[in-house]
Structure 1
Amino acid sequence: MQSSFKHNDISKLQQKPLSRAVQQILISAALVAAAPVLAQTADNSAEQAVEVISVTGSYSRSLEKAVDLKKTNIGFSDSIVATDVADFPEQNLAEALQRMPGVTIERNKGLGSKINVRSLPSEFTHVSINNLATASGSGGRDVEFDIFASEIIQSVTVQKSPTAADEEGGIAGSVMISTARPFDYSERKLIVSAEGAHNSISEEIDPKFSFLASDTFGDWGALVSFSKATRTNRTDANSGINFRPMGRFLEATGTRSDQAAAVLERDAGIVVSDRRDKNETSRIIFQDKVGDRLYLNDQDKWGATASLQYKPSNDFSLTLDAMKGGYDVTEDEYDAAAYSASSRSTLETIHDYDDTTLAQYGIVVLTDVSYTATQHEFLSKQRINETDYSQYSLALDWQTNGWDINGLVGYSGAKKDQDYANLKHVAYAPSRTRWTATGGETIVSANPASIDMYNSPQSYLFEAYETELERVTDDKYAAQLDFKKALELSFMPALSSVQFGVRYTDKSKERQFGSAKIQGPAAGDASWVNSRTLADSELQWVTDIVPGGAYKAKDLNWMQVANDYARNTFRYAGFSTPFTEGNYYRVDEEVISLYAMANLDFDLAGLPVTLNAGVRAVDTSVLSFGYHQVQNEDGSNGYTDTPISKKGSYNDLLPSLNMTVELADGVLLRAAASETLMRPALGDIAYKRSVSWSEFRFKDGNPDLKPTTAKQWEAGVEWYLESGGILAASYFWKEIDGVVREALTGVVENVEKRNANGTLDGYYDFDVFQPVNAAGSYKVTGLELIAQLPLNVLHPALEGFGINSNYTMLDNSLTGASDLDIPTPPEGLADKTYNFTLYYENDRFDTRISYNYKDKYVEYIHLNMYPVYRDAYGQVDIAIGYNLTDNIKLSLKGINITDEEATGYTLSPLFPVMNEFSGRRISLGIRADF
């Protein structure tokens, strides 16, 4: 891997060298060492150490500990602790969290990857590990939870109402993750587990191993944990289907536009008055690329933690925490696709159309069409992703003379390398494409030149072996000092304590990207283009390349080139993918936060009241830079010689209020109100321009973006039962401003566009889109219900049975994210979600069955016009455990045991975009606790 630009160009632009940020961290570390400080805020129950539940221990006890955390926390929160994290059949940390009230996950090919709190978009959630905001190498603020092994996590709390002391409140909430420390255990501890899991489609068996060892030696303690797992999963999908506006043909040069207009009038009675009026042509829809795809996803994941703790008394401790891990994924995709909107094609015959389903938006959908020159493609794609993450923090805890002084210094970082390759063979021929009940299909048309796209390898010509290389580094340094003073003031007895503090963070994200095309056996050689056919390569049945038998989405099979063969055959000696200036960007962000808050305890009408009130002042500065596209003297496109930078800044004042009133013994009225924010994605802030040739658009970054903010309040009643259960209900309200959306901000006329083989496609007007803070606001209101109940409270015969369930229902004001003014809910927001777990346990045996449901939601807005929905999805998981001895437990677990498929559609289920199968997963494991 190589770069064609110099990094010292970057450093010249920076207002502050990175070394200064490091110096500031080291200075802060010295201050922490000089002053007695706390690793964790005494008031923040979510961060307090919890009693560790044995791996072979009781699930109901782990639920009771989570309830205790919820009860003692000043704000609205929910928690899970070690056994709850470990004993469900999750594949990663995201799936472990989906059982919590209001928490759902985003699935990618059967695997949970990101979480949504109260169905709000994943980037609205702030994530920290051991009180340090987490980097994962993603392009946004959201954390990719699939990189974390759940076995190394001790507890997780989702804080839904922030206090002023929190680093970031998160519009949806804050996920606070804690790893284990040696003094969490009262004695020496060794936990070892091993597991094998079988996927029903890939038919592979995946191993997983983990251990934890902890001991204390007088005033000192040490702990290490490690987890390693591999996973092979196959996904079959009829997908890649989307709407394409008729402007694709009507704005084309030559006869293609005239023929499209004539066929529309002849077969559908549609007369286009202005072929360049996008508001008119974008409401005439045809079916874009249809694909049949098989994915084989091989994962290798490991994670480790270490904790060294010095604790001479309960009033003082010094803790060094470390966390490292890696997540390597190789995904092979084999795609047989038909691209109806090819640059050579136009309409031939409209067999059927739908002018009623979407008539309220003035949209006519051509549902069954023959095209003159469909671009049929066989694509062998390979994505190799390698993510390394690390986190280190130093914390001290000293309580003396009524003072708690809290401090933390730390670093969190991630590096992600992505290597992408795509072997592309193309055949242009007439075809007929239409929607089906579960997706789409391309078949032979009545035109005598039409081909059977799945069985004509000699018709496919080599176009290119495309490669892309991306490297993202994401680093964050932080230092924090907190001071708390307990008070007993005669003139204000209600004021029990005051707390104040300061936090400094320095975050940097850098992205390098490059692409290259191989079109011949040597550099600069294009002799394979239009001469080498698909039949000239070694072909195999795609269901033999990918293990697991028949294609699940259709009764279909085809022959294709394996990725191993492609990599060995088409990458000539000495080939590498260079990074390029035009795709580089870096964003540096500094934040200084000051806060103060007060805690009060008093009686109101004879009822005990606890109140926390505070305010946080946040000052943020951003420096963003990258190379910009310019036009050379000869008319060709180029880039500036050195990066161009731009500064941005904003500041906010964020108040918060949390209160509990004890209405009766075990019954709490809880209320909260706050203002909070989520910062824009660093990739959106980046000062850059990228191009999408297929969508005829440029995308620019916007360093002037401001954060998305929210005003919110919540009120609820919680009944804590003597049995350890809880019944709770709460109502929440959020008014969200400044949502970041892509908007059309300009047009570049007469942009030259070329085909992959270098021939001229034509000159087109390219739209320029930028992320902007949308005007106006939208409101989200919701109801959250929780019932965690041992059923023996209902009848003694139900001893050992229990339920753990929650339900979240949302209502939101619609927003105009579509350029066609189609009313659209915020992306990622589902109207209702619920989780239900029924469990039974005794001294030797336990079993759980769980159902998780997420309502439909908008996944993205295609071309900024057409909302694409992910359909409602429910999944059943099971876990069965048997204690062979007091220390050894055998477990059988199942994920998606009913073998549900994931589906999606554009605007209406009549126009599906995907039908995806990832199979069920059964695992057998054993754990020992000594």
Structure 2
Amino acid sequence: MKHNLSPFKRSRVSFAVMAAVLSVGAYAEDAGVQAEQVEVIEVRGIRASTERSLNTKRFADGVVDSITAEDIGKLPDITIADSLQRVPGIQIRRSAGEGSTINVRGMPQVTTLLNGEQFLSAGSITKVQPDFTDIPSSLVGSMNVMKSPTADTLAGGISGTVDLLTRKPFDLEEGFSGAALAEASTGSYSEETDPKFMVSAGYNGDRFAVLATLSYDEANLANYRYGSTDDGWAYAPFENHEEVSCWFCPKQDMNGDGDSDDAEFTYVSYGIMNRFTERERLGATVSFQAQLSDNWTFSSDVFYTDMDDADRHKGITADNAWGGHWHWQDQHDPINRGVLDNGHNLYTAQDITLNSPRVVSHSESHTNQRESTNFNFELEFKGDGNFSGKARFITADAERSHTENVAQGYLTNGLAHGLRRNDGSGPIAVNPGGYGPNPIPMRLNFKGKHPSLTGPSELQGEVFGSNINRYAIVSTYSENNYDEEASLDVLRLDGEYQFDYKHLEKMSFGVRVGQRDVTRDQFVLLAPFSNPVGEGSVNVMWKDQGLAAFDTNGDGEVSVVDGDITMGANTPFNFTSLPAGWVEKNSDFGPVNLGEYYFVDPRQLDDPFAFQNALYPGNIRGGVPGSSYKIEEQTQSVYWRADLSNDFYRANVGFQYIETDLDIVQNEVGDSICTNCPGEVAKDVGDIVTARSYSDFLPSVNVAFNLRDDVILRTSWGKTMTRLDLKALGGGLTISRARAGDELAASEGISPDLLIATNATMQGNPDLEPWRAENTDVTLEWYFSPSALVSVALFNIDLESFIESAQWQIAAEDGDGVVRRNVTVNGQINGQGGTMEGAEFSYQQAFDFLPGFWSGFGAAFNYTYSESESGKEGFGGEPLPLEDNSKESGNAVLWYEQYGFQFRLAANYRSKRLHTVSTPGGMGNIGVWTEPTTYIDMSASYDINDNLTVYMSGSNLTEEYESQYAQWEDNRMAQNIYERRFTLGVRGRW
């Protein structure tokens, strides 16, 4: 059964855009004019689009790859990122199985432009690369991937720049024309039928033209997560803890080898998770062009996107009570990985019994409401003389609201880790009907094709998980909620002067001023809890039934934490305690058979206030000042470029100079405003304002040598920079504090209840410098037919600076304002640089030289090798590459086009890549890697006549999944499962 998301909240702008689209479409229908089908907007046919893309590449000013709308529409690709992965050197990252963001030559520092200029995307307000799931591909006419810089291209990409080009109404044939499509998609696991509709209508008159496109689609995407639930929360606990002060380290022999000098690698939590993404997306464009006179042309564009989505999780997790019981594993067939710095032998295992103090039925919902509108106005002058110019004004706004809401239903009673409720009459188990008091043995096995997590087949005479009376909501909370909004204004003046002087062809020059404002307000939900041992109430974020009442040493006595004993509601899963429809039974865990369990329906969590208030009335927004900020970014730039040519070469040389001014308003984080919640939920005690400036001089040279009529040797050199993610600048400093306790209080002469500084997090560093690099390319291209190419490229990216995580010490105040110690700060700094170098090979050809039926075939193949160094070292001292870079990647496409029939089969390969660098306690840096993947896609279509086409496509035909391992290839720790998707559709044009 399909459930719709909340209705879109349409702005006045969105209604205006929709009205314009519909009015143009109605006008075209009333006119009854049958014009040439709208494929004149895009190149028709695979062979024709291949020729157009190669022609763009051949005569480009630098190293460029191009994709036309025919490629976007007829490759089996769901998003723009999926289409871009066909370009040599581009690797994509996936969200719910769809391509969402890209790397160019192994680096994500890629700028994306809209018609040659900056634009705002609601899914990535603080960044320069959008989330491509925001943007319907049908709104885009073509894409250019520029891998070498030119002086007149807006700087912002280290390894490349992607320019999304919309269709222009003057490109239409005269008169009215239009197109429409309707399609339905389904997934192999989601089994929903998802619709998509697109209509495009345009008119090209003698002196003016207009084009409008409207796209609407829904999607239900299944993906599953197996294994560790957190990439970074790991540890290497060791035996004989008497030798080291380590309260959570085990005393017993962990792996049964008879000695006490071992350590084991473990994560804090493992699970089998069902995850579904539901999305509604609307996109619209309206473009207008007018020939004001023979010399003056006016153009305007509106580019609008609106997307609501919900990412919902439900799964069974087993954990060690988040750090309280690190000795919870029994390793079967452990592998010795060597000796740690502390002298202990480190072991890992792929078959483990988790003696779980806590087993949870976990439900979670993340929702987003995103909306963006980009306006563009241009006035272009082309006179009879040598001078031409353009004035351009851009204004845009974007906003995003994000929520996260969690409900954890215990199957365990909580006694195994000392979690007890207390209403003032004495402690009892937080979940009296749950399993316990002993830990529950959960068998975790990574040795098969997919990881498995198996509960006890029988426990106390019943099948584990089958009795709804065993479940109760013990913990619920809503965190990481935020509202973001941004605005952008750009004024740009460009000029060009043609020369007829020896090799000098023309000079281009321009000035640009821009301002981007970003505001972020992050919050959690807090509810008032009564204080049975004190007066009044306290605000609580983590609403645990056993909140602040713990048996910390197992002696049966409940200690009071921070002077408060509070009690959450008693909310068992049975149908009399919770509203109707809140609880559902689920056995869908993808290809893994976990059994049937009960869950709080994640849809009930979509509205955090409604859900939290139903259990704990009176929720309020609690500010997170360390993650809230306001930033104003102003840029002023000038560029100059000279183009030179003769029969042997084409070249452009120039520079771009950019000044950047930043006004950064961070919040000073004060005392906590709640009980049992992270220290960052605190008072905002003032602003920290930083005003700073920096400048960049970016020269560039591109030269193409015509070695023969069909062979080009292309060389380029230039300096590049990428603007910072503003989130990395604006976050504040948060100091975490904990109760001193008796031992420290006695040694330092302080109260045991004093909150002392323990560590700190710098969520933003206003002193960060941008990524900067020096790029060199050499490419040899052979165009041996209009639809054929063989090329080889060598590239080098020398990173002068980049951003990396680091730790440093600062003096920090305790809760009474006295500085007694230094604490470690985790944050980001500018690294000392690194390198990215490699080679690309590309081949594509239409086999039109073959006879008859065989002349319809064609093929394309590309391969990229990129070697990188980040300057970091892993656990064994090995150098680590840049994150998310695959050393090897490639694409292969076989296509056929003849007699109205088109078919494509495409494969995309990535070698292993560094997913993240984790720092488990006791181990130092380890690399978390994603194993190699190959995705297979296909598409087919048939032209019933010149105006009507039926088509189908399939993505991820083999149901490829992505497995991750920690440090050692045989130490798998997680797996992401994506589904196969099929689409059927019909496309018409008039």
**TM norm structure 1:** 0.84
Q: Tell me, yes or no, if structure 1 residue 179 matches structure 2 residue 179.
A: no
89, 114, 132: which one pairs with 1:129?
114
Q: Tell me, yes or no, if structure 1 residue 773 matches structure 2 residue 830.
A: yes
- 1:60 to 1:530, Cα distance in 2 relative to 1, 3 A: same
Residue of structure 1 in register with 2:347 after alignment: 365
- 1:748 to 1:424, Cα distance in 2 relative to 1, 3 A: farther
947, 956, 963: which one pairs with 1:887?
947
Q: Which amino acid aligns with 2:202?
A: S
- Correspondence list, 1:405-444, <5 A: 405-426=389-410, 427=412, 428=414, 429=416, 430-432=439-441, 434-437=444-447
Measured after TM superposition, the shift of residue 639 of structure 1 is 3.7
Indicate conservation of the 8 Å contact 2:89/2:106, yes or no. Answer: yes
- 3-state SS of 2:47 partner: helix
Residue of structure 2 in register with 1:914 after alignment: 974
What CA distance in whole angstroms lies between the structure 2 residues aligned with 1:929 and 1:748?
69
CA displacement, residues 40-73 of structure 1 (integer Å, 9 cap, x when unaligned): xxxxxxxxxxx96566931111111111111111
- 3-state SS of 1:721 partner: strand
What CA distance in whole angstroms lies between the structure 2 residues aligned with 1:880 and 1:634?
58
865, 871, 880: which one pairs with 2:931?
871
**TM norm structure 2:** 0.79
Measured after TM superposition, the shift of residue 271 of structure 1 is 3.3
Residue of structure 2 in register with 1:306 after alignment: 286
What CA distance in whole angstroms lies between the structure 2 residues aligned with 1:363 and 1:594?
60
492, 500, 503: which one pairs with 1:494?
503
What CA distance in whole angstroms lies between the structure 2 residues aligned with 1:645 and 1:765?
25
Q: Tell me, yes or no, if structure 1 residue 701 matches structure 2 residue 681.
A: no
Measured after TM superposition, the shift of residue 251 of structure 1 is 9.0
What is the alpha-carbon root mean square deviation over aligned residues?
3.7
Residue of structure 2 in register with 1:27 after alignment: none
Residue of structure 1 in register with 2:373 after alignment: 390
Q: Tell me, yes or no, if structure 1 residue 102 matches structure 2 residue 89.
A: yes
CA displacement, residues 769-818 of structure 1 (integer Å, 9 cap, x when unaligned): 1210012x222111111111012336666211001222111122353165
Residue of structure 1 in register with 2:903 after alignment: 847
Q: Which amino acid aligns with 2:827?
A: Q
Unaligned 5+ runs, structure 1? 1-50, 273-282, 753-762
Measured after TM superposition, the shift of residue 561 of structure 1 is 1.5
472, 475, 481: which one pairs with 2:493?
481
320, 341, 350: which one pairs with 1:340?
320
What CA distance in whole angstroms lies between the structure 2 residues aligned with 1:318 and 1:721?
40
Residue of structure 1 in register with 2:309 after alignment: 329
599, 603, 613: which one pairs with 1:571?
613
What CA distance in whole angstroms lies between the structure 2 residues aligned with 1:485 and 1:52?
35
- 1:302 to 1:699, Cα distance in 2 relative to 1, 3 A: same
Q: Which amino acid aligns with 2:722?
A: M
- 1:583 to 1:340, Cα distance in 2 relative to 1, 3 A: same
More off after superposition, 310-319 vs 679-688: 310-319
What CA distance in whole angstroms lies between the structure 2 residues aligned with 1:245 and 1:155?
48
Measured after TM superposition, the shift of residue 332 of structure 1 is 1.5
- 1:422 to 1:693, Cα distance in 2 relative to 1, 3 A: farther
Residue of structure 2 in register with 1:41 after alignment: none
710, 716, 726: which one pairs with 2:779?
716
CA displacement, residues 400-438 of structure 1 (integer Å, 9 cap, x when unaligned): 210121332102332111121101234344244644225
What CA distance in whole angstroms lies between the structure 2 residues aligned with 1:388 and 1:446?
49
What CA distance in whole angstroms lies between the structure 1 residues aligned with 2:150 and 2:847?
35
Measured after TM superposition, the shift of residue 270 of structure 1 is 5.1
Q: Which amino acid aligns with 1:405?
A: G
Measured after TM superposition, the shift of residue 622 of structure 1 is 1.2
Indicate conservation of the 8 Å contact 1:780/1:810, yes or no. Answer: yes
Indicate conservation of the 8 Å contact 1:538/1:561, yes or no. Answer: no
Q: Which amino acid aligns with 1:132?
A: E
Q: Which amino acid aligns with 1:94?
A: A
Indicate conservation of the 8 Å contact 1:353/1:364, yes or no. Answer: no
Q: Which amino acid aligns with 2:899?
A: D
Residue of structure 1 in register with 2:204 after alignment: 216
What CA distance in whole angstroms lies between the structure 1 residues aligned with 2:329 and 2:82?
47
Measured after TM superposition, the shift of residue 198 of structure 1 is 1.3
CA displacement, residues 502-530 of structure 1 (integer Å, 9 cap, x when unaligned): 11111122111110255879996977627
- 1:374 to 1:397, Cα distance in 2 relative to 1, 3 A: same
What CA distance in whole angstroms lies between the structure 1 residues aligned with 2:59 and 2:249?
71
Indicate conservation of the 8 Å contact 2:248/2:326, yes or no. Answer: no
Measured after TM superposition, the shift of residue 734 of structure 1 is 1.1
Residue of structure 2 in register with 1:6 after alignment: none
- 3-state SS of 1:828 partner: coil
- 1:660 to 1:731, Cα distance in 2 relative to 1, 3 A: same
Q: Which amino acid aligns with 2:172?
A: Y
- 3-state SS of 1:74 partner: coil
More off after superposition, 56-65 vs 742-751: 742-751
Indicate conservation of the 8 Å contact 1:553/1:915, yes or no. Answer: no
Indicate conservation of the 8 Å contact 1:263/1:347, yes or no. Answer: no
What CA distance in whole angstroms lies between the structure 1 residues aligned with 2:191 and 2:406?
26
Residue of structure 2 in register with 1:509 after alignment: 518
- 3-state SS of 1:617 partner: strand
What CA distance in whole angstroms lies between the structure 2 residues aligned with 1:796 and 1:634?
77
Measured after TM superposition, the shift of residue 249 of structure 1 is 9.8
What CA distance in whole angstroms lies between the structure 2 residues aligned with 1:293 and 1:890?
37
Q: Tell me, yes or no, if structure 1 residue 585 matches structure 2 residue 629.
A: yes
Q: Which amino acid aligns with 1:743?
A: A
CA displacement, residues 555-603 of structure 1 (integer Å, 9 cap, x when unaligned): 4331111134566664236645454444321121111111112111135
Measured after TM superposition, the shift of residue 857 of structure 1 is 0.9
Measured after TM superposition, the shift of residue 495 of structure 1 is 1.4
Q: Which amino acid aligns with 1:376?
A: V
Measured after TM superposition, the shift of residue 346 of structure 1 is 4.0
- 3-state SS of 1:656 partner: strand
- 1:462 to 1:541, Cα distance in 2 relative to 1, 3 A: closer
Residue of structure 1 in register with 2:135 after alignment: 148
Measured after TM superposition, the shift of residue 369 of structure 1 is 5.7
Q: Which amino acid aligns with 1:133?
A: Q
Q: Which amino acid aligns with 1:673?
A: W
Measured after TM superposition, the shift of residue 264 of structure 1 is 5.3
Q: What is the number of equivalent residue pairs in this alignment?
A: 849
Measured after TM superposition, the shift of residue 458 of structure 1 is 4.9
Residue of structure 2 in register with 1:532 after alignment: 571
813, 818, 821: which one pairs with 2:869?
813
Indicate conservation of the 8 Å contact 1:833/1:854, yes or no. Answer: yes
Measured after TM superposition, the shift of residue 439 of structure 1 is 6.5
Residue of structure 2 in register with 1:117 after alignment: 104
- 1:851 to 1:682, Cα distance in 2 relative to 1, 3 A: same
- 1:52 to 1:363, Cα distance in 2 relative to 1, 3 A: farther
What CA distance in whole angstroms lies between the structure 2 residues aligned with 1:828 and 1:681?
17
865, 871, 881: which one pairs with 1:825?
881
Q: Tell me, yes or no, if structure 1 residue 320 matches structure 2 residue 310.
A: no
Q: Which amino acid aligns with 1:220?
A: F
Q: Tell me, yes or no, if structure 1 residue 403 matches structure 2 residue 387.
A: yes
What CA distance in whole angstroms lies between the structure 1 residues aligned with 2:132 and 2:353?
44
Indicate conservation of the 8 Å contact 1:336/1:454, yes or no. Answer: no
Q: Which amino acid aligns with 1:417?
A: S
- 1:303 to 1:767, Cα distance in 2 relative to 1, 3 A: same
Q: Which amino acid aligns with 2:888?
A: K
Identity of aligned residues (%): 20
Residue of structure 1 in register with 2:746 after alignment: none
CA displacement, residues 256-291 of structure 1 (integer Å, 9 cap, x when unaligned): 73861553597474538xxxxxxxxxx852233101
- 1:210 to 1:136, Cα distance in 2 relative to 1, 3 A: same
More off after superposition, 842-851 vs 629-638: 629-638
656, 660, 663: which one pairs with 2:707?
663
472, 475, 500: which one pairs with 2:484?
472
Q: Which amino acid aligns with 1:494?
A: H
